[in-house]
């Protein structure tokens, strides 16, 4: 198995946007519509208030995830995605660990995220990574099927 390489990139970089569009298409197939209508600004993912990361296997971009500030000491996880061909190879866990490390390095003490009930693989991964259910928040807090998680870093 190839080693996973994680690189920090700009949210609006072409490689990031390609993966984000694939993520939104995946969400759209699961939930309908555009996949996620949460307002997102590329500037929110600029240090020290956020970061965006891309995972590579054998030089090919295969996954992504980022964080943006959610209050003074909390990071919100956004746009986690792994391309179908790379699933089951530890990409999402590597991205999650890198996102948490980045947030911790920028003095965040907690990570929160929104997820949907039609993403059982994500729900299982977050649970096994130590995330616990929290009250819903954010754009989809009142939406049916929204599940929010949090974890202390």
Q: In whole angstroms, give the CA distance from residue 41 to residue 92.
A: 23
Average pLDDT over residues 68-93: 96
pTM: 0.95
Phi, psi of 68 (to 5 degrees): -135, 160
pLDDT at 135 over 60: yes
pLDDT computed for residue 34 by the predictor? 86
Contacts with 2 (C-beta within 8 Å, 6 or more apart), sequence order: 57, 58
pLDDT given for residue 36 in this prediction: 87
Report the percent of the chain where pLDDT is more than 70: 99
Question: N- to C-terminal Cα distance for the chain?
Answer: 29
Lowest mean pLDDT among 20-29, 31-40, 82-91, 131-140: 31-40
Section 105-112 average pLDDT:
98
Residue 77 scores a pLDDT above 70? yes
């Amino acid at each position: 198995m190839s080693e996973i390489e994680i690189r920090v990139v700009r949210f609006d970089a072409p490689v990031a946007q390609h993966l984000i569009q694939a993520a939104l298409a995946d969400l759209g197939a699961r939930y309908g519509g555009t996949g996620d209508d949460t307002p997102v600004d590329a500037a929110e993912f600029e240090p020290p208030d956020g970061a965006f990361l891309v995972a590579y296997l054998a030089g090919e971009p295969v996954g992504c995830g980022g964080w943006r500030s959610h209050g003074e000491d909390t990071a919100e996880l956004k746009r986690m995605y792994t391309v179908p061909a790379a699933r089951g190879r530890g990409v999402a866990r590597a991205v999650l660990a890198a996102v948490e490390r980045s947030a911790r390095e920028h003095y965040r003490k907690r990570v929160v995220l929104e997820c949907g009930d039609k993403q059982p693989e994500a729900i299982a991964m977050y649970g096994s990574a130590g995330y616990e259910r929290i009250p819903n928040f954010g754009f989809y807090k009142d939406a049916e099927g929204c599940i929010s998680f949090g974890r202390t870093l």
